[in-house]
Amino acid sequence: MVRYSEELIDEIRSSNDIVDVISQYVTLKRSGRSFFGLCPFHKEKSPSFSVSPDKQLFHCFGCGAGGNVIHFISKIENVNFIESLQILAERAGITLPTLQNSEDDKKQQLRKKVFEINEKAALFYHQHLYQPSAKPAQEYVKKRKLTNKTLKNFLLGYSGNFNELYVFLKQQGFKDEEILASSLVNKTEDGKMIDRFRKRLMFPICDVRGRVIAFGGRVLDDSKPKYINSPETIVYTKGRHLYGLNVAKNNDLKELIIVEGYMDAISLHQREIPNAVASLGTALTEAQRKIT
Ligand SMILES: [Zn+2]
């Protein structure tokens, strides 16, 4: 919930004279201490809509509408209280503070940062795939006969050895709490920051809009587990997404072929079967059924 202080609301109200504001919408005529006009909220032939400059309130004797200048704007512009305040603040030349402190806003900011981190990490891993140190990954994609076009389409990558991603993200100006929120880096008990994915072939997982929301990583030797995936984060809920759907969506598709793993989906794409997606788990969830 977005909130402005009571003082600020008072300032906005007192900076917008109710007669001035309502006169922009209703023709008002003075009668005694009040102004009268035709009510904008119900149909009428004789004026029963009154505005009191002393009380800074309006009231309609016909339909019962009433309130202060903020309520009037809200009602006539069909906007909520906050939007109404914003309209009136702008009218009076009052700069509103950005609502940085509200919890919702903080969460939104963090989500934005995590999306940025994921995007940068995907590119970081991808570029790494072409470097000499990525030999195991290069041999693997060669063995699986993946073309360079496929590597680019799916932004496949290779993760470093220890904390290369962490160092890179710090250089990019991200804060530790933002990096930890992405779950791409873990903090050890003795306070060291270490990349979650190390020496793995990396599969960025995107949402339908193409934003990177999580990663899968495959080992390139016999160590276990063969695959690890991002845990749930502020931008990723398991069972809500289909791997490859963002690529599949570029084609005009009537139906999807659902396969189990990343490599299955990628191989099918490469064989000109663009509607293959992976369920990222064993069973298709209700949410995944819906997005198809
Ligand atoms: Zn009325």
Q: Which residues make Cβ contacts (< 8 Å) with residue 39, sequence separation at least 6?
A: 26, 47, 48, 49, 60, 62, 63, 65
Q: Where in the chain is the domain with CATH 3.90.980.10?
A: 103-291
Instruction: Give the SS3 label for residue 167.
Output: helix
Q: How large is the average pLDDT for residues 247-264?
A: 78
pTM score: 0.65
Query: pLDDT, tens digit, for every residue of 211-220?
Result: 899 999 999 9
Distance 86 CA to ligand 1 centre (A): 25
CA distance 193 to 187: 5
Residue 59 burial (10 A CB sphere; 0-12, 13-18, 19+):
middle
Task: Flag the least confident range among 20-29, 143-152, 167-176, 207-216.
Answer: 207-216
Q: Is the pLDDT of residue 2 over 70?
A: no
pLDDT tier at 186, thresholds 50, 70, 90: very high
Q: Is the pLDDT of residue 187 over 80?
A: yes
Distance 206 CA to ligand 1 centre (A): 52
Query: pLDDT, tens digit, for every residue of 108-132?
Result: 889 999 999 999 999 999 999 999 9
**Percentage of residues of the chain with pLDDT beyond 70:** 91
Q: Where in the chain is the domain with CATH 3.90.580.10?
A: 6-92
Q: Is the pLDDT of residue 71 over 80?
A: yes
Distance 39 CA to ligand 1 centre (A): 5
Classify strands 193-195 and 66-67 as parallel, antiparallel or unpaired. Answer: unpaired
Fold type of domain 6-92? DNA Primase; Chain A (3.90.580)
Distance 15 CA to ligand 1 centre (A): 25
103-291 in CATH: which number? 3.90.980.10
